[in-house]
Structure 1
């Protein structure tokens, strides 16, 4: 709302009302009186942004020759805020790193071209560092993907950003490892999780060290594995509040995971497609449906229907509407009692007032008609395919 209070060139002034509790009043006043922080380029060396920007510019064909790359760099805020020689040194260092990591190729005509790996990284919207990590993990998965369970796929689909911001509760980590079946444990051991190391962290109470590249890589693996448990629970229809309580994290963190995993999974699949790993892309793409539905495999078909999320699909299945055909052939009036079960608290509240009860039932009937119509459309699509 603050950002909408006034726009340069549109208004002369803007008003903002900031509401806070008394305990935060001093902090809010300090914030209002504080100086504006200086604008910094996201391409600065410590943020390693120029490396990604150059890879994307080369991979998309925006630039290729040395002079074109310099022209591109001269258009950045980084060039305007730092010494010009320093910026060119950063540029040359970034280009050399991209060459060393086989993300770009320096051709005989002294132009640059993205390698197949570089194109895959850009197409999947990963940073160079994340792309290289994904590449190594997928290469190993190609040799021995654990397909007699889901844990390997949940790990692969766990977004880096959420995982790196989620603190590990080591006793909970150990408890979840102990509950895994043989397939799940084998999948996590394959990616680099060692139960013995987890036990050591529980007993010592220590934190993960992230000083060296090897330690950072190890931390990334363990954080992703820990977050993969949460992603597994989401796909198994465990409520957000239960997951938040189980892992001692805010509910908003679980919601962020639920939102970001779809885009990250799409990036992983796109990466495999660009690398011409068709079989791996097909396996991973199949699991994306479960992520989007937030449901077990038996509900995927119904979860494609409008208004039918995982809990609604489970209620429908348990009350006789076991598949898409049953929904398509149903009388909307027969769905209304089931839809009332989906939100019993709201149903009970409306039952207290006859007028409200009628209005609520009418609203659910419209919803039921939409569900039946959507199911019929889905059935038609399946028949055509």
Structure 2
């Protein structure tokens, strides 16, 4: 007879015991349906992209190997229809094959539903992208669903927005951020559709200050974001930026990929573009880069000073 041991904290013992004693039918019933649907769609897409499954029968056989197989088999056809309808896969003679969009979603580790939103976001931005400031490009590599803002102080955000320079205001207008929306939030009029766009924009502003080497303490104070949340945003954005670059590469958007390439490393270390090559050296981080830059500036200053003295003599 085989036994399994589950190690848990004393405070979690009661909750764990309750889960173990719950009938399996109730566990299935309480699962998150949306999450399951997303995971299953991605699972089906991965099977097709890797060549593991090419027919509906093979997809059903693969899904039957999962936990709660009866539930998954019922939704398997829905996932196939969703992937077909959104051009992640194509079918010919009852044989499924991945499209360029499907391969891009898998290569970038993005779920199909998120890939659609990102595709629309990048596709619209590629027609009118601002290059006079890095803010627009940084906005594109800021996660769409930012969750690090525990609550928004719209009075403070309105004050920040009012002081934005002209180029940043132009980017705000380009991505759909408006002063009217912020005023509506202050007056209690909610618009959830545009809320995430505005939160994403202010997150991009915070990241913009970070990669221009403003300290994390200053950025935290400026935007009133807890330092831990700000570091989480920085880490998530660095990962997301790498995923976006891989997504663009697979789609053949070489020019957009070239523009966004490098932001992942800069976000990770919080550095300017000219210091990107330094952090590739083992043992060098963002702070070390800044020290090297200061030493170089002092060295140049001394050199100029000596020259000026010689000329004076």
Into which bin does the TM-score normalised by the smaller protein fall?
0.7 to 0.9
How many Å separate the matches in 1 of 2:253 and 2:30? 33
Aligned partner (choices 295, 298, 307) of residue 271 of structure 2: 295
Partner of 1:77: 67
Q: Is the 8 A contact 2:135 2:171 kept in 1?
A: yes
Q: Structure 1, residues 1-59: CA drift from partner, whole Å, max 9, x if none?
A: xxxxxxx77xx796x7x6xxxxxxxxx74x33333436669995331221222122212
Q: Is the 8 A contact 1:151 1:184 kept in 2?
A: yes
Q: Is the 8 A contact 2:129 2:136 kept in 1?
A: yes
Q: Structure 1, residues 37-82: CA drift from partner, whole Å, max 9, x if none?
A: 3666999533122122212221222211011100111011131xxx
1:95 aligns with 2:80: yes
Evaluate the alpha carbon distance shift between residue 245 and residue 292 of structure 1 in structure 2; reply closer, same or farther with a 3 A threshold.
same
User: SS where residue 113 of structure 1 aligns?
Assistant: strand
Q: What's the CA shift for 1:151?
A: 0.9
Flag as ranges the 4+ runs of structure 1 deviating above 4 A.
38-44
1:180 aligns with 2:143: no
TM-score between the two structures when normalised by the length of structure 2: 0.81
Note the 1:287-366 alignment, pairs <5 A: 287-320=263-296
Partner of 1:352: none
Q: Structure 1, residues 105-135: CA drift from partner, whole Å, max 9, x if none?
A: 122x112222111111111111112111110
How many Å separate the matches in 1 of 2:251 and 2:210? 29
Partner of 2:259: 283
User: SS where residue 53 of structure 2 aligns?
Assistant: coil
Note the 1:92-131 alignment, pairs <5 A: 92-107=77-92, 109-131=93-115
Evaluate the alpha carbon distance shift between residue 270 and residue 138 of structure 1 in structure 2; reply closer, same or farther with a 3 A threshold.
same
Q: Is the 8 A contact 2:148 2:233 kept in 1?
A: no
Q: Structure 1, residues 133-156: CA drift from partner, whole Å, max 9, x if none?
A: 110111112111111101111111
Evaluate the alpha carbon distance shift between residue 317 and residue 13 of structure 1 in structure 2; reply closer, same or farther with a 3 A threshold.
closer
How many Å separate the matches in 2 of 1:172 and 1:60? 49
User: SS where residue 261 of structure 2 aligns?
Assistant: helix
Q: Which has the higher contact order (CA 8 A, sep 6+)?
A: 2
Q: Is the 8 A contact 1:169 1:247 kept in 2?
A: no
Q: What's the CA shift for 1:296?
A: 2.0
> Across the two proteins, how many residue pairs are aligned to each other?
288
Note the 1:129-140 alignment, pairs <5 A: 129-140=113-124
Q: Structure 1, residues 271-292: CA drift from partner, whole Å, max 9, x if none?
A: 1111111111111104344223
Evaluate the alpha carbon distance shift between residue 65 and residue 282 of structure 1 in structure 2; reply closer, same or farther with a 3 A threshold.
same
User: SS where residue 106 of structure 1 aligns?
Assistant: strand
How many Å separate the matches in 1 of 2:199 and 2:91? 36
Aligned partner (choices 149, 153, 156) of residue 169 of structure 1: 153
**5+ residue gaps, structure 1:** 1-7, 19-27, 210-214, 327-385
1:254 aligns with 2:244: no
Q: CA-atom RMSD, angstroms? A: 2.9
Note the 1:17-56 alignment, pairs <5 A: 29=11, 31-34=12-15, 35-37=17-19, 45-47=33-35, 48=37, 49-56=39-46
How many Å separate the matches in 2 of 1:183 and 1:234? 18
How many Å separate the matches in 2 of 1:276 and 1:230? 30
User: SS where residue 276 of structure 2 aligns?
Assistant: helix
Partner of 1:271: 247
